[in-house]
Structure 1
Amino acid sequence: MQQMLAAFCIFRSSLVLQKLYIKAISVENKSAASADGFWEGSGEDFSCTFGHLQVVEVTGFTGIASEVKLIGFVLANAPVLERLQIKFKENVGNTVDIFRELIRFRRISPKAEIVVPA
Structure 2
Amino acid sequence: INFNDIKEWKAALCLLRSSPNLVELEMLARPEEDNLVRPGVSFWAESNQFDCPFDQLRVVRIVDVVGIRPELDFVKFLLANSPSLEKLTVKPVSNDGGLDLLKELVRYRRASIQAEVIYVDP
Q: 2:93 aligns with which of 83, 89, 97?
A: 89
Question: CA, structure 1 residues 43+65, in 2 after alignment: closer, same or farther (shift >3 Å)?
Answer: closer
- Aligned partners of 2:67 and 2:45: how far apart in 1? 21
Residue 109 (structure 2) pairs with residue 110 (structure 1) = no
Distance between the aligned counterparts of 1:52 and 1:26, measured in 2?
28
Q: Match for residue 79 of structure 1?
A: 83
TM-score by length of 1: 0.88
Report % sequence identity: 32
Task: List structure 1 runs of 4+ shifted beyond 6 angstroms.
Answer: 40-44
- Any idea what SS the aligned residue of 2:9 has? helix
Higher helix share: 1
Pairs aligned (count): 116
Q: Would the aligned equivalents of 1:4 and 1:38 in 2 still touch at CA under 8 Å?
A: no
CA RMSD of aligned residues (A): 2.4
Find the counterpart in structure 1 of residue 3 from structure 2: none
Please give the per-residue CA displacement for 1:47-73, whole angstroms capped at 9, x wherever unaligned: 311000000000000100000000000
Partner Cα separation in structure 1 for residue 18 and residue 108 of structure 2: 25
Shift of 1:42: 7.5
Distance 2:19 2:43 in 1: 21
Q: Give 1:13's match in structure 2, choosing from 18, 21, 24.
A: 18
Q: Against the structure 1 CA distance between its residues 83 and 3, is the aligned structure 2 distance closer, same or farther, given a 3 Å change threshold?
A: same
Q: Which residue of 1 aligns with 2:35?
A: 30
Gaps spanning 5+ residues in structure 2: where? Answer: 1-5
Q: 1:16 to 1:76 in 2, by over 3 A?
A: same
- Normalising by the residue count of structure 2, what TM-score does the alignment of the two structures yield? 0.85
